[in-house]
Amino acid sequence: MRSDTVTKGKQQAPHRSLFHALGLTKEEMERPLVGIVSSYNEIVPGHMNLDKIVDAVKQGVAMAGGTPIVFPAIAVCDGIAMGHIGMKYSLVTRDLIADSTEAMALAHQFDALVMVPNCDKNVPGLLMAAARINVPTIFVSGGPMLAGHVKGEKRSLSSMFEAVGANAAGTMSDEDLCEFENKVCPTCGSCSGMYTANSMNCLTEVLGMGLGGNGTIPAVYSARIRLAKQAGMKVMELLEKNIRPRDIMTEKAVLNALTVDMALGCSTNSMLHLPAIAHEIGMDFEIDFANGISEKTPNLCHLAPAGPTYMEDLNEAGGVYAVMAELNKKNLLYTDCMTVTGKTVGENIEGALNRNPEVIRPIDNPYTPTGGLAVLKGNLAPDGSVVKRSAVVEEMLVHEGPARVFDCEEDAIDAIKGGKIVAGDVVVIRYEGPKGGPGMREMLNPTSAIAGMGLGSSVALITDGRFSGASRGASIGHVSPEAAVGGPIALVEEGDRIRIDIPGLKLELDVSEEELSKRREKWTPREPKVTTGYLARYASMVTSGNRGAILEIPKNR
């Protein structure tokens, strides 16, 4: 056992004395030490229930003969961080979480790990850590929030942000705005649509790192507590069989995740996180993979913000396994991949039923024959850009309009809410990428303002930043190379014509190469927005969005 390094032998007597100081008995030290990585805190609604999940995991581990020991991981609430400097600290926590978990797990020589995340960055951060540490590991999330109910309709956080835009446009009263505020987020849990947190928790199931139901059982259901106990017991089985994350998170498993991503219509942020996870297992993940997989993978689900259904509906319809079973009818998955159940993907989904064909479309009656995400390229995004095409209205799938250029999110929001953006415009927000932001802020406020102002079917938004899973519309993010490193998006001028062709996978600036060369000669890098602290270190090491914004040591060092 790995923990023998700190618990066995005379030389380890000082180590054992510190375990005694923790209150551990000799018997507990003779059992496998199982680290439980708890993302519990009192500031993130998706995490306020994780103390109960952790307690249930501890019971499961102890019942199966292990010694559970809890240590923490941080988490940021993207909704609370949205629209101000706090959003610069969202994506960057993914790497802090991975690094700190690696440090804690290896410093204390745990034999196995149970990861208890829930929200946007700590799920992928802990998946990255699991691949690095590579001891038997299982995930159990805190579960999704139930949908809110406003005026007889189900609602969620994206509705709240759009309500602010509608209020600014004068189409919603202050009283109705207040009602939204009090009702759209009615319980603990990760926000109730197919936003980034729920996308990544569902994809954790697909990767094989979580038990069935991990992504969809609502946070307030007792089934979530039972799932946590089962995860605690199951990790001891993984330890006994020596099944490790890199045995599970293989290249085939990552491609399975990308396939189900297309069927579910997941957040565009998955195209940042899957490459980063793939990087940790040594896989060279090109975001272009998405288009090849999308071409043959139908979109089966339209959960909020793309449609009127929510995570609780997906759970009742059969969950992720039911979606996978539909895809497997056309042999779109690698079914021989190992999972934390100790069984293969094929064995896990055998017998899974689609209980509601309105929530999970049958494979022969999809919403669209192609997947929910698309990677667009062209002279405006030579290295690629990402759009959630399942959340784009049909009339905006092909669009051409004048560029309205802003060098930060705040200026764009002021223009949108001030009525300066009109139908047909293409809003360009730049210098918000991984380096330029720094931190690649989400643009939920501007996309929600566009929708709330009634422009969702006539205005596009393009950025080297990224979008919340709650964003909808013709929102094209991750434009690479980003403006901060001199990408073509830095050369766009007010009024330039931009052509968007989502079915054709094109994003083009209607400016000659000769003119772009002249502009490039005049372009000079901007002074960094942040020069001290973690953000400055992050900006010096982060790569572009098309590579998953992974961190690399600068080559000139």
Please write the tens of the pLDDT for every residue from 336-371: 999 999 999 999 999 999 999 999 999 999 999 999
**CA 403, CA 425: separation in Å to the nearest integer?**
6
pLDDT band at 556 (very low <50, low <70, confident <90, very high): low
Question: Which residues make beta-bridge pairs with 399?
Answer: 500
28's tokens: 């507990």
Structure letter (DSSP) for residue 69 = E
Q: What's the pLDDT at 448?
A: 86
Residue 501's SS3 state is strand
Phi, psi dihedral angles at 77 (to 5 degrees)? -85, 110
Summarize pLDDT for 369-388 with one digit per residue, the tens.
999 999 999 999 999 999 99
Annotated active-site residue 468? The verdict is: yes
Q: Minimum mean pLDDT among 31-35, 309-313, 494-498, 549-553: which range?
A: 549-553
Q: Which residue in the list 468, 471, 475, 544 is annotated as catalytic?
A: 468
Q: What's the pLDDT at 168?
A: 86
Report the C-alpha dihedral over residues 547, 98, 281, 190, rounded to 10 degrees: -80
Q: What's the pLDDT at 286?
A: 86
Summarize pLDDT for 169-205 with one digit per residue, the tens.
899 999 999 999 999 999 999 999 999 999 999 999 9
45's tokens: 């609604």
- How much of the chain, in percent, has pLDDT values that exceed 90? 92
CA atoms within 13 A on the CB side of 213: 15
Question: What's the one-letter identity of residue 370?
Answer: T
Q: Minimum mean pLDDT among 308-317, 429-438, 467-476: which range?
A: 467-476
Contacts of 495 (CB under 8 A, 6+ apart): 402, 403
Helix 122-133 × helix 270-280 angle, to 10°: 10
**CA 526, CA 528: separation in Å to the nearest integer?**
6
Summarize pLDDT for 42-75 with one digit per residue, the tens.
999 999 999 999 999 999 999 999 999 999 999 9
Summarize pLDDT for 126-184 with one digit per residue, the tens.
999 999 999 999 999 999 999 999 999 999 998 998 898 889 889 999 999 999 999 99
pLDDT band at 555 (very low <50, low <70, confident <90, very high): low
What is the distance in angstroms between the CA of the first residue and the CA of the last residue of the chain?
38
Q: What's the pLDDT at 508?
A: 98
- How much of the chain, in percent, has pLDDT values that exceed 70? 99
425's tokens: 């415009």
In this structure, are residues 483 and 409 in contact, taking their beta carbons and an 8 Å threshold? no
Contacts of 11 (CB under 8 A, 6+ apart): none
Phi, psi dihedral angles at 163 (to 5 degrees)? -60, -35
In this structure, are residues 151 and 42 in contact, taking their beta carbons and an 8 Å threshold? no
**CA 285, CA 300: separation in Å to the nearest integer?**
24
**CA 31, CA 353: separation in Å to the nearest integer?**
39
* DSSP-H helix ranges across 184-335: 196-207, 222-241, 245-248, 251-264, 270-280, 289-296, 311-316, 319-328
Residues 529, 532, 538, 539: is their CA dihedral positive or negative? positive
Residue 333 has pLDDT above 90, yes or no: yes
Question: Which residues make beta-bridge pairs with 403?
Answer: 426
In this structure, are residues 212 and 321 in contact, taking their beta carbons and an 8 Å threshold? yes
Summarize pLDDT for 255-302 with one digit per residue, the tens.
999 999 999 999 999 999 999 999 999 999 989 889 999 999 999 999
48's tokens: 């306020």
CA–CA–CA angle 383, 389, 392 (5° rounding): 125
Q: What is the mean pLDDT of residues 216-224?
A: 98
Question: Which residues make beta-bridge pairs with 324?
Answer: none
Average pLDDT, whole number, for the chain?
96
Q: What's the pLDDT at 445?
A: 87
In this structure, are residues 341 and 378 in contact, taking their beta carbons and an 8 Å threshold? no
Rounded to the nearest angstrom, the gap between the alpha carbon of residue 461 and the centroid of all alpha carbons in its chain is 20
pLDDT band at 444 (very low <50, low <70, confident <90, very high): confident
CA–CA–CA angle 291, 294, 299 (5° rounding): 150
Give the number of other CB atoms < 10 A from CB of residue 233: 18
Q: What's the pLDDT at 2?
A: 93
Rounded to the nearest angstrom, the gap between the alpha carbon of residue 531 and the centroid of all alpha carbons in its chain is 27
Q: How many residues does the chain have?
A: 557
